Structure 1
């Protein structure tokens, strides 16, 4: 192909002869160079992105490994704590008289094994679930012991076990001649002589059931201690409690008086189990009254 270039100012013509094969070769080379540079840029970009991803994953992996190590350390501490609690639980149940921990359950609790973290398919969540289950079992067991101890403590505090007044035993539980009729009658309590105004205390925890002014026992106070035990106090004066009031062992409920039919100031004290009178002397463990 011929190319003619005309210069009008100088009235000259320039003839160029262009070979098509050379033009095609140059075009191909230009395209190849462009493809090379574009490929280089793309590869560089991909390499940079891959490096960033690898770096990020490496950082995340380091963080995850640290968290796993920390969790495993905490799990180990929890296991040691639970094992210690299990031993204490067994001792408490033994001394409180409760049934021992079921052998299968105890074995299942003690034989918790953490899987090796070097294995790629270990499941830490299973260990945490197992620990949670053990904690729940231990909590239930300790709660059972606590409820039992509280129940025993409440039961102990609700059984009359001390003399309600300081004084002298003048008439016991059983058949005695009535000082007013001279006939033998059942005396359903214990008479304790004391000066007028001597404090009368509750011998156990309970709730004041009633306060009445009766013909024979005068001002009478009844305390309900639990489902079985109740106590009655006769010939009182100046009650310090009211019906429905909760009282604790040792609380002053009234004072010794001479209300009702009586030959002198004293307290008539009864203990009833399911409504049946029993001998109060059998329940006075701490003896405040005196025979002297």
Structure 2
């Protein structure tokens, strides 16, 4: 291969320089290698700097996440304590009102010590959240059950006789007694309450008036069906303030004391029937004074 010639002109002089092409190729190769190496070095240096920056950012994010997990773990402990208190209240209410106690594995969430965030994985925190959420849902269902039970219980209480039907003096009680007309022993099926004629008679509980008529021996009689197998009877009335089919509430005036029928004087003959059986009315009088609405 021929040599490459380069001419340098310096003033009037011309200098000819001959260079072997192989030397020129070698120089070009060296220059390319140097530039390539410098490029690779620069890229790796920039990449390392970027990695360091990313690592610092990840460390910062990790610290923030660890702080949040720590707060979340502490919040979970507080929630566990609150749920434990709710569970105790739940059981207490059930015991008080005779509702079946909670049983099974899903009861009160356990109360542990402060969690060690260093050893705690995010997955464990998520599992704890799921468990507490399940416990909270269980308690919500439990309180819904309690609420339904109490609503029904209060409804029954509202329909259960619990007050004196009239202001007066208790005289002949429930049980065997001498019949004032025959002088013979006879079972008295109610409670007599002596009061002046015209004294208001009130309903001792919520219910529906089923009877307003005169009956042999009882005179003018009023009967109320309170539901749940409970009925009451009021005999010897002077007058009725209600009619059959009317709904009444505890304390509503239903009639006036009199001495109609087989009576020796003005008084109310009061009966309580439970599931068709006559029982002692005094067992259904909690309050002995009458408040007339």
Q: Secondary structure at the residue paired with 1:73?
A: helix
How much has 1:164 moved relative to structure 2? 0.7
Shift of 1:39: 1.2
**Map of 1:232 onto structure 2:** 233
In the alignment, what sits opposite 1:256? Answer: 256
**Partner of 1:123: helix, strand, or coil?**
helix
Deviation at 1:270, TM superposition (A): 1.4
Q: Measure the CA separation in 1 of the matches of 2:44 and 2:243.
A: 95
Q: What is residue 69 of structure 1 aligned with on the other side?
A: 70
- Tell me the residue number matched to 2:39: 38
Structure 1 CA distance, aligned partners of 2:8 and 2:61?
Answer: 71
Q: Give the direction of change, closer, same or farther, for the CA distance of 1:63–1:214 in structure 2 (3 Å limit).
A: farther
For residue 81 of structure 1, what is the aligned residue in structure 2? 82
CA distance in 2, matches of 1:163, 1:287: 5
Equivalent residues of 1:4, 1:13 under 8 A apart: no
In the alignment, the residues of structure 2 paired with residue 287 and residue 6 of structure 1 have an alpha-carbon distance, to the nearest angstrom, of 137
Q: What's the CA shift for 1:228?
A: 3.5
Partner of residue 48, structure 2: 47
Alpha carbons of structure 1 residues 45 and 284: separation in structure 2 relative to 1, 3 Å: same
Structure 1's 18 and 92: CA in aligned 2 closer, same or farther, altered over 3 A?
A: same
Contact 1:236 1:259 in 2 (8 A): yes
**Contact 2:74–2:114 (8 Å) recurs in 1:** no
SS at match of 2:35: helix
CA contact (8 A) 1:236 1:257 kept: yes
Partner of 1:118: 118
Identify which range, 20-29 or 84-93, moves more after superposition: 84-93
Label 1:267 to 1:47 Cα distance change in 2 as closer, same or farther (>3 A).
same
1:18 has 2:25 as partner: no
- Offset of residue 188 of structure 1: 3.4
Alpha-carbon distance in structure 1 between the residues aligned to 2:258 and 2:30:
132
Residue segments in structure 1 that go unaligned for 5+ positions in a row: none
TM-score normalised to structure 2 length: 0.70
Query: Gapped runs of 5+ residues in structure 2?
Result: none
The answer to whether residue 247 in structure 2 is matched with residue 245 in structure 1 is yes
The residue number in structure 2 matching 1:129 is 130
Measured after TM superposition, the shift of residue 260 of structure 1 is: 6.0
Give the 3 Å change call, closer, same or farther, for CA 38–260 of structure 1 in structure 2: farther
- CA-atom RMSD in angstroms: 4.4
Figure out how many residues of one structure are paired with residues of the other and give that number.
281
Cα 1:114–1:124, aligned 2, differ >3 Å: closer, same or farther?
Answer: farther
Do the aligned residues in 1 keep the contact of 2:221 with 2:233 (CA within 8 Å)? no
Relative to the length of structure 1, the TM-score reads 0.70
Following superposition, the deviation at residue 165 of structure 1 comes to 0.4
